Amino acid sequence: MANLTAKELSFLEDQLDAEQNLVKKYQMYAAQLTDPQLKTKCEQIASKHQTHFNKLLGQLS
């Protein structure tokens, strides 16, 4: 991993927080929905944001 500046690390931390919040939000939506299509779409969106989170986290290792 390349050495990251404090500003870059701060940006990554902010993005990780944002992605984590989106995962939780869409998982919560999916849990509350009864429409199967909307439920599936929210689960897909949560999964997409989890992937983003994992990729960003990988930049720190």
* pLDDT higher at 59 or 17: 17
* pLDDT of res. 3: 84
Q: What is the mean pLDDT of residues 26-40?
A: 98
The pTM for the full model equals 0.87
Apex 39 CA angle, 36 and 41, nearest 5: 110
- Could you tell me what percent of the chain has a pLDDT over 70? 97
CB 46, CB 23: distance < 8 Å:
yes
What token pair was written down for 10?
């701060």
Distance CA 43, CA 51 (A): 12
Nearest to 25 by CA among 41, 39, 46: 46
Assign 1 a pLDDT band (cuts: 50, 70, 90).
low
What token pair was written down for 38?
């909307």
Mean of all residue pLDDT scores within the chain: 94
